[in-house]
Structure 1
Amino acid sequence: MFGIGDLFWIIFFAIAMQPFLRQKFLEIARQKAIEQIEKKRGSRVILLVHRQEKMSFFGFPLMRYIDINDSEEVIRAIHLTDKDVPIDIILHTPGGLVLASLQIALAIKKHPAKVTAFIPHYAMSGGTLIALACDEIVMDEHAVLGPVDPQIGEYPAASILRAVKRKPLEHIDDKTLILADVAEMALKQMKENLKLILNDRYPEEKITELAEVLSQGYFTHDYPITYEKALELGLPVSKDMPIEIYQLMKLFPQPTTTTSSVEYIPLPKKGKP
């Protein structure tokens, strides 16, 4: 017979397993949603989604960015895709490592079939770099992209150079001069990489213009490039976001430890006929 102690351990085990089981159910639901989109569009769907989720055994949230593991996985998915199969990559990310983002962008650019980037909410920095390598960028009308100017530590590379130019050389310490040297190289490299990604997508003059504006520190790194701004820049954007993409994003919930700051009845609201 079960005693009080046995019942306690059963309840404890059930509570401890709850985050793990919830995560597994979410993963199964995501796979089904991806399969439905692939079947409808005849494409390979790749998700690059970074947000907090209760991933650990005790439910501690983890924040992720684009890293080498991401680039390895995306490139592996591209290798598993026939050359005549379109790719749909869904981006929801604040950015991350330049190296990893660039690897993904170059792999996407080399894929012979059409590649479409879907941005339901935001794809900043490295996420924008990846989107720029795609043939088409589908944005929600409220979604945003961002500049791809390099960052040196906690400072924008362009700002480091501007600060150095405003002071006499004898008043600048060696560390700052070294940072300025690295910043100058980083800006040059990013501009050349962006030209490589944009090559064959636009006329040469447009490529030079976009590479300059997006990578050389004309905006703050978190500057929101809206759908309207993207159109103004001449990017290949549209607002034809499939409803299935929004439904898929619902399967990436943001965990909350307190009451949600946003609350509404999750049903369509229609006006009077």
Structure 2
Amino acid sequence: MSVFDLFWIFLIFSTMFPALQRRLLEEARTRLIRQIERRRGTRLITMIHRQETIGFFGLPISRYIDIEDSEQVLRAIRLTPPDMPIDLILHTPGGLVLAAEQIAQALVRHPAKVTVFIPHYAMSGGTLIALAADEIVMDENAVLGPVDPQLGQYPAASILKVVETKPLAHIEDHTLILADIARKAMAQVRSTVIELLTANGMEEERAAAIAEALSSGRWTHDYPISVREAQALGLPVRVGLPEEIYHLMEMFPQATPRRPSVEYIPMPYRHEGPGPRPTAGR
């Protein structure tokens, strides 16, 4: 066998091996999803967005909730019998309001119980989707986020604040137009939150208070709402993710190989007490 033949074998192997790895990983995810579904008697849907996903000419491209996601989730819901509960694993920074609202409305209309699992974070549109669930199960360190609408790079509430505090004669027409859109966007999101919460049996007054807190711009858009804060608001949140959820999350690795910024030995430790103290040499 010549060096040229070895080169072609290496080239073919290096080309096919990543595809084989992806296929094996997909099969492992499917097996674990089926295992969770059988144990819980539910349809399990995952919507997992990595913040740093793929590189295109050296530029990182982030994933977020988009129309394709809403199409796939809505199709999964349509394929689920009305009497079968739905479990949804959410890991997302947010995304398009339209797509998030479509998913939330479809979930809240599902007759059987809907449970959302949040192992790390579900911000913005992810929180809006979580509000459609009958129960939100979070890791004790996981967070939700405000759902106040954003117009481009500016929060809608901040645009309205400018109009309220600055003389009208000194405000540009463009800003006034943005303020009009911001007012409508905030009213729409607030109405959606109330609709989702009351559809699951919450009193309207309580739902309105939660909607005001989440959509009024009380916090910055990236403010992390902890489990304790979410419970204090009155959301149906509890702590205690099934161990399989963590295993499933490990099967959604970073898309591009890169040097990890966090490293540890990936196995549970058992505390066995402190070891012998080091002594100074003589």
TM range, smaller chain: over 0.9
Deviates further, 172-181 or 115-124? 172-181
- 2:40 corresponds to: 41
1:59: Cα distance to partner? Answer: 10
Q: Residues 61 and 255 of structure 1 are in contact (CA less than 8 Å); yes or no, is this contact kept in structure 2?
A: no
- Taking a change above 3 Å as real, the CA distance of residues 47 and 258 of structure 1, as seen in their structure-2 partners, is closer
Percent of aligned pairs with the same amino acid: 58
- 2:185 corresponds to: 186
**Distance (whole Å) between structure 1 residues aligned to residue 58 and residue 251 of structure 2:** 17
1:53: Cα distance to partner? Answer: 4.3
What does 1:2-13 align with in structure 2 at a 5 Å threshold?
A: 2-13=1-12
Structure 2 segments unaligned to the other structure (5+ residues):
274-282
- Taking a change above 3 Å as real, the CA distance of residues 59 and 14 of structure 1, as seen in their structure-2 partners, is farther
CA-to-aligned-CA distance 1:38-83 (integer Å, 9 cap, x gap): 0000000000111144599x99864211001100100100000001
**Distance (whole Å) between structure 1 residues aligned to residue 183 and residue 112 of structure 2:** 36
Q: Residues 86 and 113 of structure 1 are in contact (CA less than 8 Å); yes or no, is this contact kept in structure 2?
A: yes
1:241: Cα distance to partner? Answer: 0.8
Q: Residues 122 and 143 of structure 1 are in contact (CA less than 8 Å); yes or no, is this contact kept in structure 2?
A: yes
What does 1:19-58 align with in structure 2 at a 5 Å threshold?
A: 19-51=18-50, 52-53=52-53
**Distance (whole Å) between structure 2 residues aligned to residue 91 and residue 81 of structure 1:** 18
1:89: Cα distance to partner? Answer: 0.3
**Distance (whole Å) between structure 2 residues aligned to residue 126 and residue 266 of structure 1:** 31
Structure with max Cα Rg: 2
Q: Residues 140 and 240 of structure 2 are in contact (CA less than 8 Å); yes or no, is this contact kept in structure 1?
A: no
What does 1:1-273 align with in structure 2 at a 5 Å threshold?
A: 2-51=1-50, 52-53=52-53, 62-200=61-199, 201-255=201-255, 257-272=257-272
TM-score with structure 1 setting the length: 0.94
CA-to-aligned-CA distance 1:157-197 (integer Å, 9 cap, x gap): 00111012221112111111111111111011111111111
1:260: Cα distance to partner? Answer: 1.5
Q: Residues 53 and 256 of structure 2 are in contact (CA less than 8 Å); yes or no, is this contact kept in structure 1?
A: no
**Distance (whole Å) between structure 1 residues aligned to residue 4 and residue 171 of structure 2:** 69
- Taking a change above 3 Å as real, the CA distance of residues 247 and 59 of structure 1, as seen in their structure-2 partners, is farther
Q: Secondary structure at the match of 1:77?
A: helix
- Taking a change above 3 Å as real, the CA distance of residues 60 and 6 of structure 1, as seen in their structure-2 partners, is farther
**Distance (whole Å) between structure 2 residues aligned to residue 4 and residue 272 of structure 1:** 54
Q: Residues 37 and 43 of structure 2 are in contact (CA less than 8 Å); yes or no, is this contact kept in structure 1?
A: yes
**Distance (whole Å) between structure 1 residues aligned to residue 156 and residue 202 of structure 2:** 26
**Distance (whole Å) between structure 1 residues aligned to residue 32 and residue 59 of structure 2:** 26
Q: Residues 19 and 54 of structure 1 are in contact (CA less than 8 Å); yes or no, is this contact kept in structure 2?
A: no
1:206: Cα distance to partner? Answer: 0.3
Q: Secondary structure at the match of 1:48?
A: strand
**Distance (whole Å) between structure 1 residues aligned to residue 132 and residue 139 of structure 2:** 18
Structure 1 segments unaligned to the other structure (5+ residues):
none
- Taking a change above 3 Å as real, the CA distance of residues 153 and 228 of structure 1, as seen in their structure-2 partners, is same
Q: Secondary structure at the match of 1:158?
A: helix
RMSD (CA atoms): 1.9
**Distance (whole Å) between structure 1 residues aligned to residue 168 and residue 6 of structure 2:** 74
